[in-house]
């Protein structure tokens, strides 16, 4: 229920942002970005990850933009604790995402914006590494698994600023991705399931992004 309610709020904000009369533009504005990711799923040791993205900006007007793109994000968790059937546990996930962002801008030269959005992750795959000590206490066993998870989807929200440099722009943004679908269960064996509760793992992380945008402006239109 809570996740459905959040999704409705984001869609409502997106509708409000574009429910206004605006002049048509024919500008071509590609945008590229790199990010540092910090997972926030509540795991004992959340690892820092990274991401890259490429986007096309539509409705390049003064107030609202629509961004559609392609992203790759890498996130992971690590746990080292004895007595749970393993000595160390590392889980890394790779997401290939198709995001849809709605950017609402304020300001003249330097623009500040808020950016709600929705995203679909058609490809989610990961690697699990478990280091386990045998009962003899002499041998360590490492198990590596590569698994393809079900497609994921979610919502996002962020704030940022756009700094113009001639026909280019530098972008700084901080946003939060909130996955709505369970992509992994903490437990990796029956032994662990019997000793600890099964914890669901979602794709939820904070990102700090630096971007670069190019504004190719049609001669018949004024630059944004």
* pTM, entire model: 0.74
What mean pLDDT comes out for the span 13-40?
A: 68
Tokens coding 205: 């992380």
Q: What is the pLDDT of residues 139-182, one digit of tens each?
A: 565 666 677 777 889 999 999 999 999 889 999 999 999 998 87
The topology (CATH level 3) of 2-75+96-119+150-182+200-214 is Porin (2.40.160)
Q: What is the pLDDT of residues 123-143, one digit of tens each?
A: 888 887 777 666 666 556 566
What mean pLDDT comes out for the span 10-29?
A: 52
What are the angstrom distances between the C-alpha of 190 and each of 92, 158, 161, 167? 21, 40, 49, 58
Q: How far apart are CA 115 and CA 25, in angstroms?
A: 20
Q: What is the pLDDT of residues 87-111, one digit of tens each?
A: 676 778 899 999 999 999 999 889 9
* Residue 93 confidence (pLDDT): 84
Residue 187: pLDDT above 60? no
Percent of the residues in the chain that have a pLDDT greater than 90, as a whole number: 38
Q: What residues contact residue 73 under an 8 Å CB cut-off, 6+ apart?
A: 35, 37, 49, 50, 51, 94, 95, 97, 177, 205
For 152-216, give the DSSP string. EEEEEEEEEEEEEETTEEEEEEEEEEEE-S--EES--SHHHHHHS---EE--EEEEEEEEEEE-B
* Residue 116 confidence (pLDDT): 96
Burial bucket for residue 210 (CB in 10 Å: 0-12, 13-18, 19+)? middle
Residue 222: pLDDT above 60? no
* Residue 143 confidence (pLDDT): 62
Percent of the residues in the chain that have a pLDDT greater than 70, as a whole number: 62
* Residue 59 confidence (pLDDT): 84
Determine contact, residues 168/212, Cβ cutoff 8 Å.
Answer: yes
* Residue 40 confidence (pLDDT): 82
Q: How far apart are CA 145 and CA 160, in angstroms?
A: 38
């Amino acid at each position: 229920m809570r996740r459905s309610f959040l999704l409705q709020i984001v869609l409502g904000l997106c509708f409000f942002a574009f429910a206004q009369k605006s002049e048509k533009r024919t500008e071509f504005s590609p945008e590229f970005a790199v990010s540092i990711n910090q997972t926030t799923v509540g795991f004992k040791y959340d690892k820092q990850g990274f991401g890259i993205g490429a986007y096309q900006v539509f409705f390049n007007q003064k107030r609202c933009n629509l961004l559609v793109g392609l992203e790759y994000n890498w996130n992971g968790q690590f746990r080292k604790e004895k007595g749970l059937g393993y000595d160390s546990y590392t889980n890394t996930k790779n997401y290939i995402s198709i995001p849809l962002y709605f950017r609402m801008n304020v300001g003249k030269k330097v623009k500040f914006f808020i950016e709600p959005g929705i995203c679909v992750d058609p490809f989610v795959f990961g690697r699990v590494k478990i280091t386990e000590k045998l009962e003899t206490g002499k041998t360590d066993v490492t198990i590596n698994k590569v698994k393809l998870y079900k497609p994921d989807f979610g919502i996002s929200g962020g704030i940022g600023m756009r700094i113009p440099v001639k026909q280019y722009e530098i972008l700084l943004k901080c946003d939060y991705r909130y996955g709505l679908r369970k992509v992994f269960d903490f437990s990796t064996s029956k032994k662990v399931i019997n000793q600890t509760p099964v914890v669901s793992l979602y794709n939820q992380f904070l990102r700090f992004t630096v971007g670069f945008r190019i504004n190719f402006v049609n001669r018949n239109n004024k630059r944004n």
